[in-house]
Amino acid sequence: MATLEPVRRSRIYEHIVEQIQRLIQEGQLAPGDQLPPERTLAELFQVSRASVREALRALELRGLIEGRQGGGTFVKAISGEDLVPSLAAALLAGRAEMDQLMEVRMIIEPHVAELAAVRASPQAIARLEELLERQAQRIERGEIPIEEDTAFHNALAVSIGNDVLLRLLNLIVDLLEESRARWFQSPDRPRKSLVGHRNVLAAIKRRDQAAAYQAMLEHLREVRETLPVNPA
- The total domain count for the chain is 2
Confidence check: pLDDT of 180 > 80: no
Q: pLDDT of 32-80, one tens digit each?
A: 899 999 999 999 999 888 888 888 887 887 778 888 877 889 998 765 4
Of 62, 83, 104, the last residue of a domain is: 83
Together in a domain, 70 and 138: no
Does the reported pTM lie above 0.85?
no
Confidence check: pLDDT of 137 > 80: yes
* Confidence at residue 204, expressed as pLDDT on a 0 to 100 scale: 98
Together in a domain, 148 and 124: yes
Confidence check: pLDDT of 91 > 50: no
Together in a domain, 72 and 127: no
Residue 222 · residue 190 · CB < 8 Å = no
Together in a domain, 78 and 152: no
Confidence check: pLDDT of 150 > 90: no
Residue 196 · residue 222 · CB < 8 Å = yes
CATH code for the domain of 114: 1.20.120.530
